[in-house]
Structure 1
């Protein structure tokens, strides 16, 4: 479970809903938070689209920020490819990071979460606390993570720059790999 998901624990009431109703609510959340920044989002369109009472919304989520954290956490879980054994082993392979960034960007671009992630990067990122568990990373791994997240953001906001940004990431990671030898 990501830190974002931990901070947005939906109620047991929500988790006990049938799959179809949960899916309707998730779709309504995605649509609202994809079309409006969190600061301008409203409960009314969500409950109308989901076909639930306003009071039910507040039984499932504490507030809009809680609902946003929940749906953004779901999106990241669905489309994020975890950096696995290579990080755990302490290996530093630039192409591994480049492949992860490329896969993530492609996954977001082809998912129903594309507009939600773009809105997050444009308007909501600073409103949500996102902590990264990076204390156990080496300096190179930490640098690769920070660079990777920045490149992902730039590509999603400027897709025409994808190839240039991927090449730049690969070049910088190759320099980091040489420095560590």
Structure 2
């Protein structure tokens, strides 16, 4: 977890460190990323890095969390209570567009291609959501991954996702 020492830095210093992290983690998978380029780019001592973060994985999780909060902050998350396929299709479109237009696109693409399996992310307990909601989360994540990794498949992926979500809503045929 990012330290209070880091959060007490000036915004300018935090931004410089985040940019250095972003550069390294967008260009290198977590398995081969190194502290040396980060500290050089950020202009900080190696020891300072370890005062801010436990290790590279901690720094990665911090940055990825920042990226997700930034992109999700622009997305409407209010479902209105009913299972509406179009709402989820709009969510996927908004996330893909937000990721594509953000400084974090390289990080997100690297995450989906190389790092996702290395980072344990709190998954949703299937007991806390309905079957259609759970299936929608899984399908939406996979659709996002396919579109970001292979942008020319977006139309086909969104069409298949639409068909699948409509089936889950009882509104269509396969």
Spell out the pairing of 1:33-72 with structure 2 (5 A cutoff): 33-72=25-64
Partner of 1:163: 155
Q: Write the distance in 2 (CA, Å) between the matches of 1:108 and 1:10.
A: 23
Q: Which runs of 5+ in 2 are unaligned?
A: none
Q: Which runs of 5+ in 1 are unaligned?
A: 1-8
Displacement of 1:137 after TM fit? 1.1
Spell out the pairing of 1:140-159 with structure 2 (5 A cutoff): 140-159=132-151
Tell me the SS of whatever aligns to 2:44.
Answer: coil
State the TM-score, normalized to the length of structure 1: 0.90
Q: Write the distance in 2 (CA, Å) between the matches of 1:78 and 1:38.
A: 21
* Count of aligned residue pairs for this structure pair: 169
1:109 equivalenced with 2:100 (yes/no): yes
Q: Deviations over 1:130-181 (max 9, x none)?
A: 11234421000111110000000000000001011111101111111117xx
1:86 equivalenced with 2:66 (yes/no): no
State the TM-score, normalized to the length of structure 2: 0.93
Q: Which runs of 4+ in 1 moved over 6 A?
A: none
Partner of 1:97: 88
Q: Write the distance in 2 (CA, Å) between the matches of 1:164 and 1:110.
A: 21
1:27 equivalenced with 2:19 (yes/no): yes
Q: Deviations over 1:73-117 (max 9, x none)?
A: 111111125663317x3x100000000000000000111000000
1:129 equivalenced with 2:120 (yes/no): yes
Instruction: Choose between structure 1 and 2 for higher RCO, CA contacts under 8 A separated by at least 6 residues.
Output: 1
CA RMSD after TM alignment: 1.4
Q: Write the distance in 2 (CA, Å) between the matches of 1:29 and 1:15.
A: 15
